A and B are shown apart, each in its own frame.
Chain A
Amino acid sequence: GENVEQHPSTLSVQEGDSAVIKCTYSDSASNYFPWYKQELGKGPQLIIDIRSNVGEKKDQRIAVTLNKTAKHFSLHITETQPEDSAVYFCAASRETSGTYKYIFGTGTRLKVLA
């Protein structure tokens, strides 16, 4: 069945450095790729998303790139801060005639060391 692989499972970076998380999806019909940040005791929070007709999207320190040919997309966080520490999830979704499949990756625990 369809799946989304996410790497790495844990990532430690020094404050101020960049962090990159990568996801690969199997369903070539996927057309929506969101990223979520989940802090302890909270639900996931949408931080950025991209649709399949766009190759890159940026929002301040966060950017997402999409390579549809290779079926992978990445989250880039620059100038990391301690408050960026959380678990990050990618997801891939496709909608067909009103029904959709929404599959999450397994998550990356990011630790930003002060």
Chain B
Amino acid sequence: KAGVTQTPRYLIKTRGQQVTLSCSPISGHRSVSWYQQTPGQGLQFLFEYFSETQRNKGNFPGRFSGRQFSNSRSEMNVSTLELGDSALYLCASSLETGGYGYTFGSGTRLTVV
């Protein structure tokens, strides 16, 4: 079966711009979670969507937002980009909420210059 698909794979943006990342979960998975991965902070939870509703949220500023569509695809948006937002953004899908049995995508590498 197809895995979790994240687009684009690489992105370069300028400070102050905004960016939208996309994630298509495994067919049948209704939960989509987003993580930020950096060498200094490791893997940090951003938020989780389940059946189009945000169920859980990490400790990130309001510049980070997301949404989920009726087909379970999810988008993540970061506004007013800062240099510190440079990271690998990972999407993970699962059948149920709670992070059980995550399947991760390969991520979107965002570089802010």
Q: Chain A: residues with CB nearer than 8 A to chain B?
A: 32, 34, 36, 41-46, 49, 89, 91, 93, 95, 98-107
The reply to whether A93 and B4 form a contact with Cβ atoms under 8 Å apart is no
Cα A100 to Cα B48 with chains together (Å): 10
Of all chain A residues, the one with the shortest Cβ separation from B41 is A106
Known: A89-B43, A99-B55, A106-B42. A46 touches B98 (CB 8 A): no
25 contacts between A and B (CB under 8 A): A32-B99, A32-B100, A34-B99, A34-B102, A36-B102, A36-B104, A43-B104, A43-B105, A43-B107, A44-B43, A44-B90, A44-B102, A46-B101, A49-B101, A91-B99, A93-B99, A95-B98, A98-B97, A100-B56, A100-B98, A102-B33, A102-B45, A102-B99, A104-B42, A106-B42
Q: Chain B: residues with CB nearer than 8 A to chain A?
A: 4, 33, 42-45, 55-56, 90, 92, 97-107
Cα A90 to Cα B44 with chains together (Å): 13
Closest 8 CB pairs of A and B: A43-B104, A104-B43, A102-B99, A95-B98, A44-B104, A43-B106, A100-B98, A43-B90
* A89 partner residues in chain B, CB cutoff 8 A: 42-43
Q: How many cross-chain pairs have Cβ atoms below 8 Å apart between A and B? A: 53
* B4 partner residues in chain A, CB cutoff 8 A: 43
Cβ distance B68 to chain A, nearest Cβ, rounded Å: 16
* B90 partner residues in chain A, CB cutoff 8 A: 43-44
The reply to whether B55 and A107 form a contact with Cβ atoms under 8 Å apart is no
Question: Out of B43, B98, B103, B107, which one reaches A93, CB within 8 Å?
Answer: B98
Of all chain B residues, the one with the shortest Cβ separation from A106 is B42
Cβ distance B40 to chain A, nearest Cβ, rounded Å: 10
* B55 partner residues in chain A, CB cutoff 8 A: 98-99
The reply to whether A99 and B101 form a contact with Cβ atoms under 8 Å apart is no
* A43 partner residues in chain B, CB cutoff 8 A: 4, 90, 92, 104-107
* B99 partner residues in chain A, CB cutoff 8 A: 32, 34, 91, 93, 100, 102
Known: A32-B99, A44-B104, A98-B97. 12 other contacts (CB 8 A): A34-B99, A34-B101, A34-B102, A46-B102, A49-B101, A91-B43, A93-B98, A98-B55, A100-B97, A100-B98, A102-B45, A103-B45
